Structure 1
């Protein structure tokens, strides 16, 4: 269920550069062509922040919480539930979130957003909006996208600090991203983070056009980020 627990720097999105403890869940029903999560091993919990030395643990709530406590540093911003897809295990994730909140932690969820019926309150939620080109031969894209928007709306109504992230590929169309921005603006004050897929150096002309097109609906609620953890060589 959980692959690893570790301390590192948030490498992407709205809170890029902040210190997090990551709880990485396994499994995701989506098979995005750029995803590398299946290749990541089951390592347990990091023994000390930033060492990348792991030990096996029992994956019950108390042991997971104890592992998080040992990784807590003065600069810690939040605990991130990441994946895979954390909401695949939403009952367990909800219980862990409750325990962390009761002990003063800020919680952060990274999700593909396809389970709107499993939404519960977290402090911050980052929802990955998928594009058709993220998949090979997918037949239910419309349903996936509708669920992502429903998930964002539910978090927004819960007053979670929710934002959307979309991975840009070489064949991504500006108009598609503009339409996403329009749909987000219909929900409310939602930031959209534009992120190129790893290895794609997006031409600055296209990047600026995408952001300007999004700005027609979102104003300045659009940003660009890259995966800085890969540049830094950290987890």
Structure 2
């Protein structure tokens, strides 16, 4: 269920640069071409006991020790505990249980999800939903994409209605149509006061060409017509710093 736990900075999105404890979960039904977090299910969980050391210790029974491990990694500058993946809502019941315990202990929680499971959403202090685009996949049927997008919007609305500080994040590629992102911004504005983070794709094995500076600025301008200044552009800062 859990692949790794470590303390680091949030490298993307609305809370970039904040100190987090990341609890990464295995598995995801999607297959985005830029994904860099594929984890095999048969690999035991590991914990970076000394943050920033790059040295991990196997902890195969982590599910029973999670709260204690988080307590040992807690630092005075900690902003929140992130449930990330993979797709963490594959384990929504377990995450809800962990979240309730952590809240009782005074922690803030953050969900990082692709939003495909709106019925599994519960309250988190913070949440980021990755809105996918057709070009994020090698091959996706239009009806499957439309269903995914509707579920992403449902997840954002449910989190917003629950009182979570939720924002949307979209990975921008060379072939992304700015008008499409502007339309997404309109849909987000219909939900409420939602921040949209646009993120230029990181160069990887499957993606070589990056969006131009002009495209990023054009997208921000189009989104601003609906979201005003509730749109930001963030890269994956942790990769530039060589951090987890």
User: TM-score, normalised on structure 2?
Assistant: 0.93
- CA deviation profile, 1:111-150 (whole Å, cap 9, x unmatched): 0000000000000000000000001221200000000000
Match of 2:38, SS state, is: helix
Q: 1:207 aligns with which of 201, 204, 216?
A: 216
Alignment of 1:52-201 (within 5 A): 52-59=54-61, 61-139=63-141, 140-199=144-203, 200-201=209-210
Q: Distance in 1 between matches of 2:8 and 2:194?
A: 26
Match of 1:31, SS state, is: coil
Runs of 4+ with deviation above 3 angstroms: 39-43, 58-62
Q: Which runs of 5+ in 2 are unaligned?
A: 204-208
- CA deviation profile, 1:44-66 (whole Å, cap 9, x unmatched): 11212222222222445540111
Q: Distance in 2 between matches of 1:14 and 1:74?
A: 21
Aligned residue number for residue 44 of structure 1: 46
Distance 1:113 1:59, change over 3 A: farther
Deviates more, 1:200-209 or 1:179-188: 200-209
CA apart distance, 1:201: 4.0
Aligned residue number for residue 10 of structure 1: 10
Q: Distance in 2 between matches of 1:138 and 1:161?
A: 30
Distance 1:145 1:178, change over 3 A: same
Q: Distance in 1 between matches of 2:191 and 2:237?
A: 29
CA apart distance, 1:212: 0.3
1:48/1:70 contact within 8 Å kept: no
Q: Distance in 1 between matches of 2:140 and 2:85?
A: 21
1:78/1:108 contact within 8 Å kept: yes
Deviates more, 1:174-183 or 1:54-63: 54-63
